[in-house]
Amino acid sequence: MQKGLLIVISGASGTGKGTVCKKILADLPEVAYSISATTRTPRPGEVDGKEYYFLSRDEFKAWIAEEKFLEYAEVYGNFYGTPLNKIEERLNRGEDILLEIDVQGALNVKKKCPDGIYIFLLPPSLEELKRRIEGRGTETAESLARRLKNAVAEIEIGREYNYVVVNDTIENAVAQIKSIIAAERCKVERNPDKFQLGTRNKELGTSF
Amino acid sequence: MQKGLLIVISGASGTGKGTVCKKILADLPEVAYSISATTRTPRPGEVDGKEYYFLSRDEFKAWIAEEKFLEYAEVYGNFYGTPLNKIEERLNRGEDILLEIDVQGALNVKKKCPDGIYIFLLPPSLEELKRRIEGRGTETAESLARRLKNAVAEIEIGREYNYVVVNDTIENAVAQIKSIIAAERCKVERNPDKFQLGTRNKELGTSF
């Protein structure tokens, strides 16, 4: 059986990772979501165990001590982490797992899971990124400036990923990511079984 | 400007390379066909300069001497070759070139053009491959047996390609190849320009 794909989608803050990932999950029922844990305050409408596991700082530190995280990072004063428990197990069962993760976190995962698929989302321009972060309405002027400055540095890190997708429209970005997933399923190294065809000479009886 | 993709589609004799390639070209007008040269006799309906450049053995040898071929090979007593002239030039102009080529030829091209995309087509089974070669009606019993024996060896060589696609139906195979092409266009190493976004701080004026 083919091992599942670990699909890691990342990009600078405000690039639209969340919206793109939701659409991928809606369109591809065979892909399951990996839920992150965080110590940040839930935004309006966010539900514990759905968008995130919302933990206190003490709870988060306990999970770190119990080595429950594939990776974790502190971003803007809050902790974010990816629970390791279940991910490898699910991949080995042939399930495809989608991971939405910040830029720093994704590179940590890449070291541990080099056969994952690392996709970097880009905004069409920095102007557009600024507009999107402002539009979210959850940033102070200071945190907006910090996010934008950080975005410039983060975009450089994108060169270490496998794929880059410009999120000009959700439809385009999602279509490209679906193509990437379909293509990765065709990689020769993920399909050693398919070549055993050539050794099953008995299929042809005595014809040669 | 992004360099064009060299898309190489290969597979054992009778796997359906030709039909798959025709459909890809029909569906993707931005992909252009690389026409091979051969010394074999045209099949009914085949036109010189369309399916192949049909050359005499003397003409073919002259093209070899003039180094006009990216690669050439003798298969079942006939020569097949890929005219080098124009391919690199077209790739550098940003054109995507599709190359349909036998298994041996594709590996020769891979040595010279390692950044090409090497796609190996598999039949669903050897039984089905046998049926398809018989159905073509252009084979003697002897050449059929030889082709099938060769196919077994060729399928093993498929492990050296980048992607493997099972040609169970034309629709499935074509859809997978289109995904592969779309995904390859997103590869980070093919898109260095996209990351220059992060250095164009002037886009944001004096905001930081």
pLDDT at A199 (0 to 100): 56
Q: Is the interface score ipTM higher than 0.85?
A: no
Of B122, B182, B195, the CB nearest to A156: B195
Look at residue B39 in the predicted model and tell me its pLDDT. Answer: 97
Mean pLDDT to the nearest integer, B128-154: 82
Any A CB within 8 A of B194 CB: yes
Interface of B with A in 82-141 (CB under 8 A): 119-120, 122-123, 125-127, 130
- Residue among A156, A201, A208 whose CB faces B145 most closely: A208
All structural domains of chain A, each given as residue ranges with its CATH number in brackets, are 6-186 (3.40.50.300)
Cβ contact (<8 Å) for A156 and B198? yes
Q: What is the mean pLDDT of chain B?
A: 87
Which residues from chain B sit within 8 angstroms of residue A208, using beta carbons?
A: 145, 148-149
C-alpha angle A169-A174-A179 in degrees, rounded to nearest 5? 130
Residue B80, class by beta-carbon neighbours within 10 Å (0-12 exposed, 13-18 middle, 19+ buried)? buried
Smallest CA–CA separation between B58 and chain A, in Å?
A: 35
For residues A80 and A102, give the distance between their C-alpha atoms in angstroms, rounded to a whole number.
9
pLDDT (0 to 100) of residue B129? 84
Q: Which of A154, A160, A203 sits opposite B126 (nearest CB)?
A: A203
Q: Which helix (H) or strand (E) holds B83?
A: strand B78-83
- pLDDT of res. A208: 38
Q: How far apart are CA A79 and CA B64, in angstroms?
A: 64
Interface residue B172 vs chain A (CB under 8 A): no
Classified as helix, coil or strand, B50 is coil
The reply to whether A178 touches chain B by the CB within 8 Å rule is yes
Is the Cβ pair B188, A155 closer than 8 Å? no
In single-letter form, the type of residue at position B107 comes to L
- How many helices and strands in chain B, by DSSP H and E? 7, 9
Q: What is the DSSP string of chain A?
A: -PPPPEEEEEESTTS-HHHHHHHHHHH-TTEEEEPEEE-SPPPTT--BTTTEEE--HHHHHHHHHTT-EEEEEEETTEEEEEE-TTHHHHHHTT-EEEEE--HHHHHHHHHH-TTSEEEEEE-S-HHHHHHHHHHH----HHHHHHHHHHHHHHHHHGGGSSEEEE-SSHHHHHHHHHHHHHHHHTBGGG-GGGGGGGG-GGGGTT--
- Contact across the interface for A204 and B153, Cβ inside 8 Å: no
Residue in B28, B163, B202 to test binding to A, most A beta-carbons within 10 Å: B163
Cβ contact, residue pair B120, A178, below 8 Å? no
CA distance B38 to A159: 43
Q: Where does the pLDDT of residue B144 fall: very low under 50, low under 70, confident under 90, or very high at 90 and above?
A: confident
Q: Which of B103-112, B126-135, B184-193 holds the top average pLDDT? A: B184-193
Average pLDDT of span B78-102: 86
Residue B151 and residue A198: Cβ atoms within 8 Å? yes
pLDDT of B135 higher than 90: no
B97-101 average pLDDT score: 91
Average pLDDT value for residue range B104-115: 87
Higher pLDDT pick, A33 / B188: B188
Q: Which chain B positions have a beta carbon within 8 Å of A151's beta carbon?
A: 198
Contacts with B152 from chain A: Cβ below 8 Å: 198-199, 201
Per DSSP (E only), the strands in B125-183 are 163-166
Q: Using the beta-carbon criterion (under 8 Å), do A186 and B178 form an inter-chain contact? A: no
The yes-or-no verdict on residue B45 having pLDDT over 60 is yes
Instruction: Flag whether the pTM goes above 0.90.
Output: no
Question: How many Å apart are CA B22 and CA B28, to the nearest integer?
Answer: 10
Q: B188, A163: Cβ pair inside 8 Å?
A: yes
Are the beta carbons of B63 and B57 closer than 8 angstroms? no
The alpha carbon of residue A143 is apart from the nearest alpha carbon of chain B, in Å, by 12
Residues of chain A with pLDDT under 50: 202-208
Taking residues B158-178, what's their average pLDDT? 96
